[in-house]
A and B are shown apart, each in its own frame.
Chain A
Amino acid sequence: MAKRVSLSGNEAVAFGMKQINPDVVAAFPITPSTEVPQYFSQFVANGEVDTEFVAVESEHSAMSACIGAAAAGGRVMTATASAGLALMWEMLYVGASMRLPMVLAVTNRALSGPINIHNDHSDTMGARDSGWIQLYSESAQEAYDNLIQAVKIGEHKDVQLPVMVCYDGFITSHAVENLEMLDDEDVKKFVGEKRIAPFALLGQDPVSMGPLDLPNHYFEHKRLQAEAMKNAKKVILEVAAEYEKLTGRKYGFFEEYKMEDAEVAIVVINSTAGTAKHVVDTLRAQGKKVGLIKIRVFRPFPAEELADALRNVKAVAVMDKADSFSAAGGPLFAEVRSAMYGRVDGKIVINYIYGLGGRDVTTAQIEKVYADLFNAIETGKYEVYNYLGVRE
């Protein structure tokens, strides 16, 4: 029986970790992620989990300890945000390259400088090419659901990759809202009692991992890593189907909201999708054919599927809560436009950078984006690169 609860995003994630009962959690606190290892260390202290909790002196060490434990064959989790993720950078690549399934809960927070503790996606968007699978979450419910699915996705024999579960700092991490939690037993059954590692530092056939890879092998290993990311697409959908059977909650690469007959659409990530759904409902009530696509899986990127979902719209606004300073749009924009090229050409595709450093994202801002899209269709005139809600 699922249990109806009211929890903050961080509480939901910490309780999810408790139900998963990993072998090792190595973590270093950073706002707004701190509560996750804080709550979890209480579970450890109370003997409610079997986990070895490793208190480390930095995030670089946290990820290093996670890699060691995962290489030994353990089921491993950690949490961080912002500068903490940035300090893990070197080791993120090492973990993915060593094909070590781990789950990292990231409360998305702006990167410095200047220091800002609030939400945007510059941290995980920067880590998008580190080789980690990235799942994004609109709400505390989705953060919890993604966390549980992440274990199973990463540990699949055809994947063997680490997974980031991303949710918005403060907006989701610190807001209390309704969600449904699974029974402990159901979670245990879903993720399996123990991780089954096909290769490990310990066990019957111990292997050595990741010491040196010169030109005669490195490229082949990278090619295999890329193949694993491709395999992840199939596995993500399989795991989602199984999760839906258990919970009734449907997950895919992305969520399509009122897209059936939509003329214009917004593509967006995380909590802003919820605010935008509210706007879609308002505009639909006025007879406007608006829709929304919320990206859940950013790595691997569901390029073909996304292009197909945008086949019938006339204009798309891609919303980035991170600037890539490329002078050619944000990271999600680059991916979406590239996915559409050659598959669904002839659309108006524009980009909005929004909400940086926790700038509140209002329904009025989203309404403006939809109005801009209709105006672009009507007049044929529009700017491709836009900033939303900023003082110019």
Chain B
Amino acid sequence: MGKLVEIRWHGRGGQGAKTASLLLAEVAFNTGKYVQGFPEYGPERMGAPITAYNRISDEPITIHSNIYEPDYVVVVDETLIKSVPVTAGLKEGGAVIVNTSKSPEEIKKELNFNGRVYTIDARKISEETLGAYFPNTPMLAAVVKITGVVPVDVFLSSIEDSFKHKFANKPHVVPKNMEAVKRALEEVKGNE
């Protein structure tokens, strides 16, 4: 079987973690991969903790359960670290990617996690490029870079096409979103 990558997203309702997981699925699909992107639906409301998942593989994927032992965990809202066991089941050799202004070392201590920790200040990037807080675009770019599920150059052209399609009615926001993507690719940092 081809290498299967499993990713678990933690966010809060309204922040776009579900959308980001679907975008990642789309990006991987566009490079010829087999994909799954699915949220775990609960009593959803703005601000409540939500979970979303991705499976990405070179082979067809038949498994349809939630993901309990992910290769990567993405935390879209760092306040969740206090209330949700975000690293639960995370594979040894796996990594966690957190949206925070803190350093990987600080987050590593908060998580009490021994593996690789990456941080990205998606709020700052989003506010400076898009003029508002839409963390999922920079988070998506950081996840692509760290997981390597898609080569970065392929991702850049694919995501630009997606933005052009998504923002067909307001093309002026496409360059701003692309800037957010490029900054995230540069600014995500780890403690390897």
Give the interface of A toward B (CB within 8 A).
Answer: 6, 32, 117-118, 138-139, 168, 170-172, 174-178, 271-275, 277-278, 281, 360-363
Contacts and interface: CB of A to CB of B under 8 A. Distances in A.
B35 A170 contact: no
Contacts of B61: 177
A363 B65 contact: yes
A360 B37 contact: no
Contacts of A275: 62-65
B35 A274 contact: no
A177 B62 CA distance: 10
A168 B65 CA distance: 12
B29 interface: yes
Contacts of B62: 138-139, 273-275, 277-278
Nearest to B34: A178
B38 interface: yes
B151 to A, nearest CB: 18
A361 B65 CA distance: 6
Contact of B38 (A139, A176, A361, A363): A176
B63 A175 contact: no
A362 B60 CA distance: 18
8 contacts: A139-B62, A168-B64, A175-B64, A178-B29, A178-B34, A278-B63, A361-B64, A362-B66
Interface in B1-47: 1, 22, 25-26, 29, 34-39, 41
A362 B66 CA distance: 7
B64 A6 contact: no
Contacts of B35: 6, 176-178
Interface string B40-76: 0100000000000000000011111110100000000
Contacts of A362: 65-66, 68
Nearest to A361: B65
Nearest to B30: A6
Given A176-B35, A178-B29, 10 more contacts: A32-B41, A118-B41, A170-B38, A175-B36, A176-B37, A177-B37, A271-B64, A274-B63, A274-B64, A275-B65
A174 B65 contact: no
B: contact size bracket: 20 to 34
B136 to A, nearest CB: 15
A286 to B, nearest CB: 15
Contacts of A170: 38, 41
A273 B65 CA distance: 11
Nearest to B68: A362
A15 to B, nearest CB: 16
Contacts of B36: 175-177
A272 B65 CA distance: 8
From A172, A174, A176, name the one whose CB has the most chain B CB atoms within 10 angstroms: A176
Given A117-B41, A118-B41, A170-B41, A176 B64 contact: no
Contact of B41 (A174, A178, A277, A361): A174
A176 B34 CA distance: 10
A11 to B, nearest CB: 11
The 10 closest A-B pairs by CB, nearest first: A175-B38, A274-B62, A6-B29, A271-B64, A278-B63, A176-B37, A277-B62, A362-B65, A274-B64, A360-B66
Given A117-B41, A118-B41, A176 B65 contact: no
Nearest to A5: B29
A277 B65 CA distance: 12
A362 B34 CA distance: 20
A172 to B, nearest CB: 8
B64 A174 contact: no
A115 to B, nearest CB: 11
Interface string B137-176: 0000000000000000000000000000000000000000
A275 B68 CA distance: 14
Contacts of A139: 62
Nearest to B21: A176
A170 B44 CA distance: 14
Nearest to A277: B62
A272 B66 CA distance: 12
A272 B64 contact: yes
Contacts of A361: 64-65
Contacts of A168: 64
A117 B43 CA distance: 9
B26 A174 contact: no
A6 B39 CA distance: 16
Contacts of B68: 362
A170 B40 CA distance: 8
A137 B37 CA distance: 18
A157 B29 CA distance: 41
B64 A171 contact: yes
Contacts of B34: 177-178
B37 A363 contact: no
A201 B48 CA distance: 53
Given A272-B64, A277-B62, A175 B37 contact: yes
